[in-house]
A and B are shown apart, each in its own frame.
Chain A
């Protein structure tokens, strides 16, 4: 039986970093530092121009879900009247907020002074943040990003830059701090370095057997979606991750040594299933080696390569990647990206994950799957149902029935 590999050094470093992040935030908030809650696509590099405590509710919800606390927290929000049909990230984090941090592994996020959401990743984030806006009676800045069906338009770029300027004025006004653009440039420089290491880490998937599992990438993306982004710490972490991965590959250590099936994952991670799912897949000699979700970090519009940010044009650079950092975008762009991934990583089958809690990501997958099947008739695809953070909406038997059928199809396709 195959064993799921663990990247021990990187895992230890990750635990240390994330612990540090949450503890630091709590301490600084207690000292009275200004606290901003942001959606994950809001560019943290821009906020580095200020001295702020930055917390990311989506990140917090994913962590709660991974620690099996999702339902407990979601039920608190549901008991307040929030429908079970709402995004589970929102229900979990609202549950934490209503319960004043009870049952959150970190005791909840420090109380915010300002909220910044964005509409591109999902415009419902703004509705979710409006709950906090009304509950805490604090300002809510909506970063409005036109959806990306194609290459970003020049006027959209300027529109986003103007909003950044507005946001800078707002924070200056609220905090009495002076915005420091040099710090933003430095953060961008660090992000470039970090993403370069991240891409190096992901490229290990090209090896047969793959040097990584997409589950590794799900776990280790966390610091990028925290205030570690734009700092040397994340550069070091991603470098450690890539180094450790390569070293293990040199030693002949792979997540699924007898890898028979190389799969691609399309959607957000099933946070509550990372370990059980990867373990069960490994038992079948299957590995989800790559994921659209973690591949698009630091890229734009369906490309696989890193989009280098230009530190000399910080606002424009950040606005340029606003359209596709960790987010869904148009059908054609996603199809292009998936096509490239299939070729580059020698994919045997695609797992499209229809996610009850993320309509923007999911609501085009049926066509995406059809197009993929048409273009790659020998690559079987399957659609499974998952909720990224609410385990109550997950049925392991049904999911694995479909995955096993996919593996059979791959076998059949090989015999032809």
Chain B
């Protein structure tokens, strides 16, 4: 599956009579939807899917991140192909979008059942907050149940959890293998993107084959000659940027990308939860820190420092999503703290508009590489 043909993929799913749920990013309850036999597509990284902006600027202003823009355009172009929408309070922009999209679909005479939960943002370790979150899930399940053929069961849910655990472990394992064996990090990004719309089972098969492929490849290691960097941001950078990073003599050894590590890091251990609600309490309580999860503020920087130490990284490259204020509020203090640890940061910014010229990025990356190598 290539990301360029998501619309065709949707057509295929429609032909198979799949029930399709479009989910807003960043961290939706995928296991739950899977256990309900809903084919879920999380709508981020849709840049290559967008061929026009006929809907975007009719509904939202220019000063909004690419994720919100592309998501709006994509849903309004494909409203007839989907069954449900899901959102949560991931950020202020995404919080406003459900009603905007509803208006846009109404103009096309579509009405989509939409589901929304409020994820508590203060702290998830207070009794009443725990109860609130669990209740949100109880309500979500009961709201979705009338639309699905089978009643949701804990057994089915647990099977879905195990499938997601396997998938997440595979994805993490593939990254480790690619980094350890000194392959280009582009391979990781391309593998992740290539399988993103496949079913879980097909993703597992695809990733296993990729894993074997990289396990069997024989390459000489050159890790000692290059400086090691970690990528951070909401979305991965375009492969061309990774190519430029590597050409400049840097090696990507890990990521703090919302779509990758932040999403994959944690699955509650088997046997640690007795209900679906309990699972999601643990899932969000122990989630990898992210600037959009307000209750993770205090754990984020220490954890990133630990990651840098573990990966023996020399640098940190921020892949900025223009207008994502959650990320940008943290950057100056993160940069200062990493500087104190002798880990310089490079701040690159990407917007919704197509990048036509990569050369300015190259100049900055080359200069950054020089700083790292002369350190």
Chain A residues in contact with chain B, CB under 8 A? 80-83, 85-87, 90, 119, 122-124, 126-128, 130-131, 133-135, 140-144, 146-147, 149, 155-156, 158-159, 162-163, 166, 330-332, 354, 356, 359-360, 362-367, 370-371
Instruction: Let me know if B291 is at the binding interface, CB within 8 A.
Output: yes
| Cα–Cα distance between A127 and B330 once the two chains are bound (Å) | 8
CB distance from B163 to the nearest CB of A (A): 31
Are B121 and A126 touching (Cβ within 8 A)? yes
Are B122 and A142 touching (Cβ within 8 A)? yes
Are B100 and A359 touching (Cβ within 8 A)? no
**Which of the four size classes fits the interface of chain B?**
35 or more
The interface-forming segment of B21-29, B54-62, B147-155 is B54-62
Instruction: Let me know if B89 is at the binding interface, CB within 8 A.
Output: yes
Output the residue of B116, B120, B331 with the most chain A CB within 10 A: B120
Report B89-113 residues with CB < 8 Å from chain A CB. Answer: 89, 91-93, 95-100, 103-104
Label chain B's interface by main secondary structure.
helix
Contacts of A332 in B (CB 8 A): 99
Contacts of B332 in A (CB 8 A): 80-82
Q: How many A-B residue pairs have CB under 8 A?
A: 127
Are B291 and A146 touching (Cβ within 8 A)? no
Q: Which 9 A-B pairs have the closest CB atoms?
A: A81-B332, A127-B329, A331-B99, A162-B128, A146-B118, A144-B122, A142-B122, A367-B103, A83-B328
Name the CB-closest residue of A to B89: A147
| 11 contacts across the A-B interface (CB closer than 8 A) | A80-B332, A85-B328, A122-B92, A123-B91, A124-B326, A126-B121, A142-B121, A144-B121, A144-B122, A146-B118, A162-B126
A86-B329, A130-B329 are contacts. A363–B61 as well, Cβ < 8 Å? yes
Of B59, B96, B129, B294, which is within 8 A of A126 by CB?
A: B294
Are B329 and A128 touching (Cβ within 8 A)? yes
Are A163 and B122 touching (Cβ within 8 A)? yes
Instruction: Let me know if B145 is at the binding interface, CB within 8 A.
Output: no
| Cα–Cα distance between A162 and B98 once the two chains are bound (Å) | 28
Of A142, A155, A354, A364, which is within 8 A of B294 by CB?
A: A142
Contacts of A90 in B (CB 8 A): 329
Are B121 and A119 touching (Cβ within 8 A)? yes
Are B325 and A366 touching (Cβ within 8 A)? no
Chain B residues in contact with chain A, CB under 8 A? 58-61, 63-64, 89, 91-93, 95-100, 103-104, 116, 118, 120-123, 126, 128-129, 132, 135, 291, 294-295, 297, 322-323, 325-326, 328-333, 335
Contacts of B333 in A (CB 8 A): 131, 134-135
Contacts of B95 in A (CB 8 A): 123, 147, 360
Are A331 and B325 touching (Cβ within 8 A)? no
Are B63 and A356 touching (Cβ within 8 A)? yes
Are A359 and B64 touching (Cβ within 8 A)? yes
| Cα–Cα distance between A140 and B95 once the two chains are bound (Å) | 23
Contacts of A126 in B (CB 8 A): 121, 294
Name the CB-closest residue of A to B123: A142
Contacts of B93 in A (CB 8 A): 359, 363
| Cα–Cα distance between A90 and B332 once the two chains are bound (Å) | 14
Of B100, B126, B326, B335, which is within 8 A of A127 by CB?
A: B326
Are A85 and B100 touching (Cβ within 8 A)? no
CB distance from B39 to the nearest CB of A (A): 26
Contacts of B59 in A (CB 8 A): 366-367
Of B60, B98, B100, B295, which is within 8 A of A142 by CB?
A: B295
Contacts of A82 in B (CB 8 A): 328-329, 332
CB distance from A382 to the nearest CB of B (A): 15
Name the CB-closest residue of A to B332: A81
Of A133, A134, A141, A144, which is within 8 A of B120 by CB?
A: A144
Contacts of A128 in B (CB 8 A): 329
CB distance from B359 to the nearest CB of A (A): 23
| Cα–Cα distance between A188 and B191 once the two chains are bound (Å) | 59
Name the CB-closest residue of B to A165: B128
| Cα–Cα distance between A142 and B89 once the two chains are bound (Å) | 15
Name the CB-closest residue of A to B295: A142
Are B121 and A354 touching (Cβ within 8 A)? no
Given A85-B323, A86-B328, A331-B100, 7 extra CB contacts under 8 A:
A82-B328, A86-B325, A331-B96, A360-B96, A363-B60, A366-B58, A367-B100
Are A159 and B128 touching (Cβ within 8 A)? yes
Name the CB-closest residue of B to A143: B122
Are A360 and B99 touching (Cβ within 8 A)? no
Contacts of B135 in A (CB 8 A): 155
Are A119 and B328 touching (Cβ within 8 A)? no
Name the CB-closest residue of B to A81: B332
Are A331 and B294 touching (Cβ within 8 A)? no
| Cα–Cα distance between A142 and B126 once the two chains are bound (Å) | 13
Are B103 and A331 touching (Cβ within 8 A)? yes
| Cα–Cα distance between A356 and B104 once the two chains are bound (Å) | 23
Are B99 and A330 touching (Cβ within 8 A)? yes
| Cα–Cα distance between A126 and B93 once the two chains are bound (Å) | 15
Are A123 and B121 touching (Cβ within 8 A)? yes
Contacts of B100 in A (CB 8 A): 331, 363-364, 366-367
| Cα–Cα distance between A356 and B328 once the two chains are bound (Å) | 15
